[in-house]
Amino acid sequence: MDKIREREVQSKRTLLIADDDVISGDILSSFFEKEFNILRAYSGKETLKTLSTHLDIIDLVLLDIYMPDGDGFTILKARQENKEIKKLPFIVITGEADIERDCFYLGVNDFIRKPFSNPEIIVARVKRMIELYEDRSIIKEVKTDKLTNLYSIEFFKKFCIQFDEAKPDISKDMVSINITRFRLLNELYGKNYSDEVLKNIAKFLEHFVDKVKGFASHTSGGDFLVYCTHQDDYQSFVNDLLNHLESSSVHLHIGICPNVDPLLDKDLVIGRAHNVANSIQGDSTIYAIYDSKVEEKVFFEEELINSFKNSLKNREFKVFYQPKYNIQGDKNRLSSAEALIRWVHPKHGMISPGVFIPLFEENGFIQQLDAYVFEEVARQQAEWKEKFGIYLPVSVNVSRVDIHNPNLEKEILEAVDKVHVPHDKYYLEITESAYSQDKQEVISLVTSLKEKGFLIEIDDFGSGYSSLNVISELPFDVLKIDMVFMKKIDEHPMNRDIVKMILALCKKIGATSVAEGVETVEHYKFLKECGCDVIQGYYFSKPLPENEFTALMEREYQNGR
């Protein structure tokens, strides 16, 4: 724990009194014992040992020059060679004026003369010396961030207050700039690349605050703060920052607290700006303005994040299964299912995946949640095999964040092989958008999994900008038509033609076609006539919890497949 943080939790400062004269040491201890914690050492050797073992809590050393096993000069020379001990102030206890010059050359800060007089003055001098060292340490170590040369957060907050006092009649804004998934950026492109991104943002912010009157801070990781005169247009700020970065791999979320009340605590204002930035989901580079609704949303999301681990441990995440029916032939047959995660929260009840999935993608929890789903689905397939004698194929989603997980393939194999589920009964859904963003990683991953016998399903086909590239470059077995087409199929004849073309393409390349989001008998008939292999949606069934899906399978197999 560093000295500043230590001070926050420690009510008393600590003195080391190094003096072999017991009486002298006792007298000094009596001066300080009400306000300080006291450590004692009676020799040079013991002093060095105490410094090495208690350095993190000692605030000042009162040092007698003449001691056995290493005198005070030995201690002072050791201090000169140790940068951590050198950060401590030393006051020499002496009755000899002629040694003061030598002590000053060795970095001594002050002297206390024997015999002692005026205890109150001695205590005051010690207190002041500690305060001077703490202030100097703060100025030296935390005024600016070494990488970006922007202000540290502590100095940033001090300057915010000074700015308000100097310009009370000028409206000001607090701006939080966050590089989304900064840790992942580091892992993918390396620390040198990430450092260059940070320095580029800092360079832009320095120019911006010079122009609009303000100042900036690099707080930590991919987070920056700006406090500046009020701006009416932040869209141009965003555009200029993006143009300056010239990188498609960097995505920013920007939260703005406009017209800050100067009487509000700066930590509160900074927290609001951070909360606004964190409320933005997805990779789009956008900004949001603070209001009370945004803060309520952030507090709710923070509560979800904090309860994630317990909910996972208590199995409050439930896998639901949406039936998929093969509609070709005389009779519709239950052919497979899609696994969908739901959260039955102990306080908030059923929480939509549309709320928690983007949240967990942002903070990295999605990998733990997906690993949980991988195991749950495989376990359920094995149970159904015991009960019904068949392995029903189930599709599980591989999120865009999973693509960057170096242990993903291992996690999938362990989940499936542990309960002996055949690989070709375990479908892995890859979204088209994941391919569009991380093309080479997706191709490498999918190729390896397909070689091991897993079936690959492309989800949301037709929603991205690289649909033709997907089918030409990515090995796959199943193509799912984006449900947006089904929702808009009646709006324009062209949408029907697009669906027909996709279905014809599937036939041509030998891929199984799946249409999701099917809700009406008209859509069902249209898809059947066009040769769609499999459909899922509310026309047949909503997603079902484990017990209800098991009951559905029982009815299906009682009536004959």
Residue-averaged pLDDT of the chain = 85
Query: DSSP assignment of 262-309, as one string?
Result: TTS-HHHHHHHHHHHHHH--SS--EEEE--HHHHHHHHHHHHHHHHHH
> Whose structure tokens read 């303000």?
214
Helices then strands, counting H and E runs in the chain, come out as 22, 20
DSSP 115: S
Question: What is the per-residue pLDDT across 171-180, written as a single tens digit (0 to 9) for each?
Answer: 999 999 998 8
**Single-letter amino acid code for the residue at 400:** R
- Opening angle at CA 108, ends 106 and 109, nearest 5: 145
pLDDT in tens, 240-258: 998 888 776 788 999 999 9
Residue 216: what pLDDT?
93
Report which secondary-structure segment, H or E, holds 13: strand 13-18
Residue 396 clears pLDDT 80, i.e. is over it: yes
Band of residue 218 on the pLDDT scale cut at 50, 70, 90:
very high
Residue 191, C-beta contacts closer than 8 angstroms, at least 6 positions apart: none
Angle separating helix axes 72-81 and 44-54, nearest 10 degrees:
30
Amino acid identity, position 150 = L
Which strand (E) or helix (H) includes residue 434? Answer: helix 432-437
Instruction: Tell me how far CA of residue 481 lies from CA of 197, 337, 492, 493, in angstroms.
Output: 38, 16, 17, 17
Residue 323 pLDDT exceeds 90:
yes
Query: Number of C-alpha atoms within 13 angstroms, CB side, residue 252?
Result: 27
CA distance 437 to 108: 61
Encode pLDDT of 517-528 as tens digits: 898 899 999 999
Cβ atoms 92, 112 nearer than 8 A: yes
Tokens of 416: 């499936």
CA distance 126 to 143: 25
Mean pLDDT of 455-473: 70
| pLDDT (mean) for 12-31 | 91
pLDDT digits (tens, 9 = 90+) for 193-209: 889 999 999 999 999 99
For range 37-42, the mean pLDDT = 94
pLDDT band, very low/low/confident/very high, at 6 (cuts 50, 70, 90): very low
Q: How are beta strands 317-326 and 544-545 bridged, if at all?
A: antiparallel
Residue 82 tokens read as 């140790």
The stretches of 314-352 forming alpha helices (DSSP H) are: none
What pLDDT score does 131 carry?
79
**DSSP character at residue 106:** T
Three-state secondary-structure class, residue 389:
coil
For 343-370, b where at least 16 C-beta lie within 10 A, e where not — what string? bebeeeeebebebbbebbbbeebbbebb
Which domains occur in the chain, in start order? 3-142 (3.40.50.2300), 153-290 (3.30.70.270), 301-558 (3.20.20.450)
Bond into 475 cis (ω within 30): no
Q: Residue 80: which of 71, 90, 70 has the closest Cα?
A: 90
Look at residue 561 and tell me whether its pLDDT is greater than 60.
Answer: no
For residue 339, give the DSSP letter.
Answer: E
Decide which of 280 and 392 is more confident.
392
Q: Contact, 393 vs 426, CB < 8 A?
A: yes
pLDDT in tens, 106-136: 888 888 888 888 889 899 989 888 877 766 6
- Residue reference for tokens 């088209």: 432
pTM reported for the whole predicted model: 0.57
Q: Could you tell me the two tokens for 74?
A: 């030995």
Q: How many residues does the chain have?
A: 561
Residue 111: which residues within 8 A CB-CB, separation 6 or more? 91, 92, 93, 94, 100, 103
pLDDT of residue 102: 77
Distance (Å, whole) CA 48 – CA 544: 69
**Terminal CA-to-CA distance of the chain, rounded, Å?**
66
At 330-363, the pLDDT tens digits run 889 999 999 999 999 989 999 989 889 888 887 7
Residue-wise pLDDT for 359-372, tens only, equals 888 777 888 999 99
Under the banding of pLDDT at 50, 70 and 90, the label for residue 464 is low
Helix 292-313 to helix 266-279 angle (10° resolution) is 70
Percent of the chain with pLDDT over 70: 90
Instruction: Please give the residue that has the higher pLDDT: either 222 or 83.
Output: 222
pLDDT at residue 285, rounded to an integer: 62
What are the pLDDT digits (tens) for 407-460?
A: 899 999 999 999 999 999 999 998 766 666 667 778 888 899 999 999 999 887
Spatial separation of the C-alpha atoms in residues 333 and 552, rounded to whole Å: 12
**Sign of the C-alpha dihedral computed for residues 495, 501, 504 and 510 taken in this order:** negative
* 3-class DSSP state of 535: strand
